[in-house]
Amino acid sequence: MKSSPTPPTALKEFRENLRAAPRRIWEAAFRGGKPATDRTRSTFVFGNVFLHLHSVRTHLWSLRWSTTLGLGIASAAAFFITLVTGVLLMFYYKPYPDAAYDSIKDIHFVVPTGRFIRNIHRWAANVMVVAVILHMARVFYTAAYRKPREFNWLIGLGLLVTTLGLSFTGYLLPWDQLAYWAITIGANIAQSPREVTDALRITDWFDPGGFQRLLLLGSDEVGAEALIRFYLLHVMILPLVLTALLAVHIWRVRKDGGLARPADADRRLGPPGEDVYPIFTQAPARTYHLAAIVKGRTPVVGRGPENTVPSMPHLFYAELAVLMLTVFLCLVLSLAWDAPLKELANPAVPENPAKAPWYFLGLQEMVAFSAFVGGIAIPSIVLIGLGLIPFLDREDAGTGGWFGGPGGWPLVRRSILWGLVAAVGIEAFAIHFGWLRQWFPHIPQLIITAVNPGTVLTAVYGLYSLWLVKRYGSARAGALGLFTCFLCGFTVLTIIGTYFRGPNWDFYWSSSQWPSH
């Protein structure tokens, strides 16, 4: 008699399981199988926590280059690049005065690939700011912020502010002259509500400006405390906030029914091609409730054959292409231009001229007339105005099309002209003739705070926009004019701040005319 047959069988099973383990691990990780059919392509998306931020199917209109220009994905891609390069830089960076400067120098001169990584980090940050602003302009000009996408527009504004905050906090970290004085100016802008509270003589009791500055710097000067706070904000708090907002932002696109498209998008696209397999071959007549969890009807009801394709691969490959283009752009810029590093920060000698990062130079231009107005009041007004747009414009003409809405492209063209002329005109006047204090030396500060080129320009743009609302009988027309004007004003002020301001913030036609020390 042989012994019991159990041991050999168990061992055999064990051996077979061991042999099958790699395959089973693979299958457990990729449960849906290869995304080859429409069904497996769907499970590929909704079976994945990251991919299912996107919807399973994408409308063909969303995939046209001219719908988005890929700007949203480019912003996210640039953020992803800064994330990777930023973590690499953290291997060497030490957030302590002077040591910080030395560690950046090490990264620049000693660490293998360090200079290249730092260049990419800096360029990706710049690309991100540009892409975010252009993405906002795209959403605005295609009227894609309208119902039901109002909330996502607000999330987008949050992302814009976080992006600028990330750039600004990163600016201090090298602890060079450029960083030190830009942050000194920035922290004092945070303190600038004192301009008003001082003039009203209430600073001793009510000092929001001083509190903001103290919170930012952790001390009454820019030093070790400020550096560690900016570092914490830059590598931890703001990236977390941005990641969370970004996830909500992308997910809301799906929940709001994909990207905005014109009401007649399906007609303009024509019937779906042979290769597009429609989920419904004809308009479904019935309402599909999802067990009382979801409000309203499913989107396809009553619409009929849809021009949608599976997101895998159509959407994801397009996104991958945008990511590759963004990486390529950052690499080329990094090879061509090194990120700057000036002398070690010296609290006794300001950089002259001390310039903020370029996207803040428009603000700095206004700050050169009144710190509170240029640095806090007008940016707040602009942000509040942007946030209100989808709640004031409740129209539906032109959604999804470029420059859609009453007035259209001719209105935008006229607004560009008006926006440029007004900004250049007011700046030219202020540069040539000076401003109130040169004419009336004893003028009260409150009058200068209330009347300066920044407030005058804002008022001119605001009145123009109100006139448009009246003329076209449409809030959208006013918004088109105002948004265009502010983009123009931002551009003009940024260019003047960048190229035409020299030592003492005096006007120079070119930096070759700057006086030598």
Partner 1 sequence: MTTQPKSARSRLDPEPLPRRDWLGLASLWAAASAFLFATLGMIRLPKAAVLASPSKRFRIHLPENLQPGQAFVPSGRPVAVFRDESGVWALSTICTHLGCIVKPTPAGFECPCHGSHFAADGSVTRGPAPQPLPWLKVSLSGNSLTVDAGAVVPSGSKVSA
Residue placing its CB nearer to partner 1 in the complex, 67 or 364: 364
Q: Does 334 bind partner 1 (CB under 8 A)?
A: no
Output the furthest CA–CA distance in the chain (Å, rounded).
119
Q: Cα 364 to chain center, whole Å?
A: 20
* Residue 214 beta carbon to partner 1: minimum distance, rounded to whole angstroms: 6
Q: How far apart are CA 310 and CA 56, in angstroms?
A: 6
Answer yes or no: are the C-beta atoms of 222 and 21 closer than 8 Å. no
In the 8-state DSSP scheme, what is residue 376? I
Q: Does 40 bind partner 1 (CB under 8 A)?
A: no
* Residue 504 beta carbon to partner 1: minimum distance, rounded to whole angstroms: 5
Q: Does 506 bind partner 1 (CB under 8 A)?
A: yes
Q: Does 29 bind partner 1 (CB under 8 A)?
A: no
- Beta-bridge partner residues of 59: 308
CB contact set of 430 (below 8 Å; sequence gap of 6+): 369, 453
Return the residue of 32, 218, 284, 299 that touches partner 1, per CB under 8 A: 218
For tokens 């050169």, what's the residue?
368
Q: Does 349 bind partner 1 (CB under 8 A)?
A: yes
- Nearest Cα neighbor of 501 from 353, 349, 340 is 353
Three-state SS for 440-475 is CCCCCHHHHHHCCHHHHHHHHHHHHHHHHHHHHCCH
* Residue 211 beta carbon to partner 1: minimum distance, rounded to whole angstroms: 8
* Length in residues, the chain: 517
In a 10 Å sphere around its CB, with 0-12 CB exposed, 13-18 middle and 19+ buried, how is residue 480 labelled?
buried
Q: Does 258 bind partner 1 (CB under 8 A)?
A: no
Answer yes or no: are the C-beta atoms of 101 and 176 closer than 8 Å. yes
Q: Does 445 bind partner 1 (CB under 8 A)?
A: yes
Q: Does 189 bind partner 1 (CB under 8 A)?
A: yes
* Residue 433 beta carbon to partner 1: minimum distance, rounded to whole angstroms: 13
Return the residue of 32, 223, 278, 385 that touches partner 1, per CB under 8 A: 223
* Backbone angles phi and psi of 514, in degrees to 5: -60, 135
DSSP per residue, 394-410: ---TTTTSTT-STTHHH
H or E stretch covering 57: strand 57-59
With contacts defined by CB under 8 A, name the span among 2-10, 252-260, 360-368, 387-395 that binds partner 1: 360-368
Residue placing its CB nearer to partner 1 in the complex, 85 or 449: 449
Q: Does 265 bind partner 1 (CB under 8 A)?
A: no
The helix/strand/coil state of 309 is strand
The helix/strand/coil state of 59 is strand
* Residue 201 beta carbon to partner 1: minimum distance, rounded to whole angstroms: 12
Work out the angle between the directed axes of helices 114-141 and 71-90 (0-180°, nearest 10): 150
Return the residue of 40, 43, 48, 352 that touches partner 1, per CB under 8 A: 352
* Residue 435 beta carbon to partner 1: minimum distance, rounded to whole angstroms: 9
Site for partner 1 in 128-187 (CB under 8 A): 181, 184-185, 187
* Residue 227 beta carbon to partner 1: minimum distance, rounded to whole angstroms: 12
Q: How far apart are CA 411 and CA 417, in angstroms?
A: 10
Residue placing its CB nearer to partner 1 in the complex, 148 or 434: 434
Q: Does 429 bind partner 1 (CB under 8 A)?
A: no
Residue placing its CB nearer to partner 1 in the complex, 224 or 456: 224
* Backbone angles phi and psi of 492, in degrees to 5: -60, -50
For tokens 């920060």, what's the residue?
345
Residue placing its CB nearer to partner 1 in the complex, 167 or 364: 364
Residue placing its CB nearer to partner 1 in the complex, 409 or 429: 429
With contacts defined by CB under 8 A, name the span among 12-20, 313-321, 364-372, 478-486 that binds partner 1: 364-372
Return the residue of 12, 350, 466, 511 that touches partner 1, per CB under 8 A: 350
Residue placing its CB nearer to partner 1 in the complex, 113 or 511: 511
Q: Does 343 bind partner 1 (CB under 8 A)?
A: no
Three-state SS for 210-253 is HHHHHHHHCCCCCCHHHHHHHHHHHHHHHHHHHHHHHHHHHHHH
- Nearest Cα neighbor of 417 from 462, 464, 458 is 464
Interface mask (CB under 8 A) for partner 1, residues 281-320, using x and -?
Answer: ----------xx----------------------------
Q: Does 377 bind partner 1 (CB under 8 A)?
A: no
Answer yes or no: are the C-beta atoms of 85 and 138 closer than 8 Å. no
Total residues binding partner 1 (CB under 8 A): 49
Q: Does 198 bind partner 1 (CB under 8 A)?
A: yes
* Residue 276 beta carbon to partner 1: minimum distance, rounded to whole angstroms: 35
* Cα torsion angle, 20, 26, 30, 33, sign: negative
Which tokens belong to 16? 């077979």
Q: Does 505 bind partner 1 (CB under 8 A)?
A: yes
Rg (CA), the chain: 28
With contacts defined by CB under 8 A, name the span among 45-53, 99-107, 318-326, 445-453 that binds partner 1: 445-453
Q: Interface with partner 1 by CB under 8 A: which residues? A: 181, 184-185, 187-189, 192, 194-195, 198-199, 211, 214-215, 218-221, 223-225, 229, 291-292, 347-354, 364, 367-371, 434, 437-438, 441, 445, 448-449, 503-506
